[in-house]
Amino acid sequence: MIRLVAGQNLPWSELRVTAYLDDPAVSVCALLLGDGYRVRSAEDLVDDQRRHRSGVEWLAGPPAGITIDLTAVDADVERILFVAGAATHRPVTVRLLAASGDVLADFEPVIPAGSVVVLTEVYRRDGGWKVRAVGQAYAGGLTQALAAHGVVAPRPTVQPPSVQAPMGQPSAAAAERTYEDLLRQNRMILEDASRTTASLEATRDFARRRWEADLERVVGDPSLRVGERGDRARHEAQQRHQQMLREAEDRHRADLEHLQRELSVFESDLPAPLARWAQPVWAGWRPSDRLHQGFRVGELALPDAPMFAMPFLLALPMGRPLWIEIDNSDEVATLVLRTAAARVLVATAAALTRVSVIDIGGRRGALGIPDELLHGPPAVDAAGAQAVLAELVDHLELLGTALASGSVDVLDPRHQADRLVLVTDLPTGLDEVTLRHLITVIEHGPRLGVHLMVTGTHAESLNLPLLEWLRTFFLRVTSVPGGDLVDGFGGVEWTFLPDAGPSDPRVLDEVLGRLAASRTDPQSLRRRT
């Protein structure tokens, strides 16, 4: 038996899969999803009110569970989710059984009180099926979980006491997918792309070694070294090698085409801070009172399939500050920095984020950030940089104390806004005192709404031990395509493609202009709690 962890998948060659929980206090149901992680209709919920649907059957128990006849699942059903909820906090064990009744795998998630959790999913891949341990919780209960997968008007139903029934039309906010939901789907597409690419690479390596072995056998046989039989043996070895490569590449291409369809739907679901600039969500964009939990910093592409590009998303608050390498051009790195800053400002528009710019020498000015968004004029010399960072350290101390005492409301409004710090060409012009202030911002800023992004070069940091140590705190990305990154799934190398803004630079100017125009009412400042 295999013990699964969240995110792990497992090929499923059986014709049936049964998932159950041996816990009478837990209520279960199943969701049948089509393209884009969406139900085809509200009828795709299988529970005690509708016990059968497209090969999926609800089991009353004990033990409660679902069983799926994989041969009877409709062709347009891409995946089936096993969902459970409980009134109290409960660690549970999910068991996955074959048709014989043998337990082939299990998974031990936790169901938070009053929540529902997507425990596992069964999904199509490579003409077969896989199962995946998920463990995604929805604090809003079944209503939120259903809305996240497209059930906007579920049928009236009486749910078990531990799971509140969804009634009527959920609000627009409830129907929007959570950042955790989007991040999970992004990670799953990345994992599947990684594993199919790793399989291709492994097949290529095996095919090469087999071809070499076949040729060695031909060379080692005196009767085959020359003549028609030897030529035929070498030709057959080459044919086997090429056929193996063709079949592997065809499978890989088909997998990526399938994932590309998933990715296209996924991209259309992304809110503005996470979306490509060409997506309709940017057309006529206006600041809203919704805080977003992440932003897009670029894309990840496969060297063998450059048209397949995954979004590279970072969470907010940023767990690690962002370092953009000055690779070939300071101008390009500055553009990537400005674009990332604009996305963070869009994501945190409701927090009325104020921007501090440190640009020693003053060549870049305010990076095109409108005055209405700035906390103060850009710092253009060492003294100004030290003053900006010292003020930020004071801000963190003041805000931290106010939060601890519950007295944030009495703070000056400028201390209630989030802050974004942009530093160009690090470490130019920064002394040790200033760098230590920067370390304080890195250590304490994220939990208090202070975000940091810089441009810099590694070469300039040589012979500065403090800066060498400082760089380890950053997530470092390139400002030009490159910077190969290795994923943790199949160990595949991806090429990072930085987001340098929309093809029409006026779009970015318009976005920043709308943000600036929204700063006319200081009373609209979001209060911290």
User: Domain locations in the chain?
Assistant: 2-171, 190-270, 294-518
30 and 81 Cβ atoms separated by less than 8 Å: yes
Distance between CA 450 and CA 455 in Å, rounded? 17
Mean of the pLDDT values across residues 47-55? Answer: 89
pLDDT confidence tier of residue 467, bands split at 50, 70 and 90: confident
**What is each CA distance from 322 to 180, 230, 424, 428, 449, in whole angstroms?**
21, 60, 12, 17, 15
Mean of the pLDDT values across residues 32-52? Answer: 87
Q: Is the pLDDT of residue 460 over 60?
A: no
Q: Which residues contact 259 (CB under 8 A, 6 or more apart)?
A: 189, 192, 193, 196, 308
pLDDT confidence tier of residue 56, bands split at 50, 70 and 90: very high
Using DSSP bridges, classify how beta strands 294-302 and 493-498 pair: parallel, antiparallel or unpaired. Answer: antiparallel
Q: Is the pLDDT of residue 526 over 60?
A: no
> Which of these, 196, 198, 191, 177, lies nearest to 7 by C-alpha position?
191
- Each residue's pLDDT tens digit, 240-255: 889 888 888 888 888 8
- Each residue's pLDDT tens digit, 317-336: 888 999 999 887 889 999 99
For residue 88, give both structure tokens.
């109290």
pLDDT confidence tier of residue 138, bands split at 50, 70 and 90: confident
pTM here is 0.69
Mean pLDDT of the chain: 84
DSSP at 11: E
Distance between CA 140 and CA 173 in Å, rounded? 12
- DSSP assignment of 39-94, as one string? BSSGGGEESSSS-EETTEEEE-SSSEEEEEETTSS-TT--EEEEEEE-SS-EE--E
Q: What is the pLDDT of residue 423?
A: 95
CATH code assigned to 2-171: 2.60.60.30
- Each residue's pLDDT tens digit, 196-207: 888 888 888 888
Q: Is the pLDDT of residue 163 over 70?
A: no
Mean of the pLDDT values across residues 229-249? Answer: 85
Element containing residue 249 per DSSP (H, E): helix 228-269
Q: What is the pLDDT of residue 169?
A: 30
Q: What is the pLDDT of residue 63?
A: 76
Q: Which residues contact 110 (CB under 8 A, 6 or more apart)?
A: 89, 90, 91, 92, 117, 135
CATH class of 294-518: alpha beta
Q: What is the pLDDT of residue 310?
A: 93
The number of helix segments (H) and strand segments (E) in the chain equals 9, 24
Alpha helices in 371-412 (DSSP H): 382-405
The separation between CA 180 and the C-alpha centre of its own chain, rounded to angstroms, equals: 8
Element containing residue 313 per DSSP (H, E): strand 305-315
| 2-171 against 294-518: fold identical | no
297 and 314 Cβ atoms separated by less than 8 Å: yes
pLDDT confidence tier of residue 462, bands split at 50, 70 and 90: low
Mean of the pLDDT values across residues 144-157? Answer: 66
SS3 per residue for 471-514? HCCCEEECCCCEEEEECCCCCCEEEEEECCCCCCHHHHHHHHHH
Which amino acid is residue 116, in one-letter code?
A: V
Q: What is the pLDDT of residue 199?
A: 85
- DSSP assignment of 258-302, as one string? HHHHHHHHHHHH--GGGS-TTSGGGTT----SPPPSEEEEEEEEE
Q: What is the pLDDT of residue 160?
A: 34
411 and 449 Cβ atoms separated by less than 8 Å: no
SS3 per residue for 79-92? EEEEEEECCCCEEC
> Which of these, 357, 352, 321, lies nearest to 443 by C-alpha position?
321
Distance between CA 525 and CA 527 in Å, rounded? 6
443 and 411 Cβ atoms separated by less than 8 Å: no
Contacts from 223-228 at CB under 8 Å and sequence distance 24+?
none
Rounded to 10°, the helix 432-444/382-405 angle is 30
What percent of the chain is predicted at pLDDT more than 70?
Answer: 92
Distance between CA 166 and CA 174 in Å, rounded? 11
378 and 358 Cβ atoms separated by less than 8 Å: yes
* CB atoms near residue 146 (< 10 Å): 27
**What is each CA distance from 343 to 5, 186, 349, in whole angstroms?**
33, 19, 10
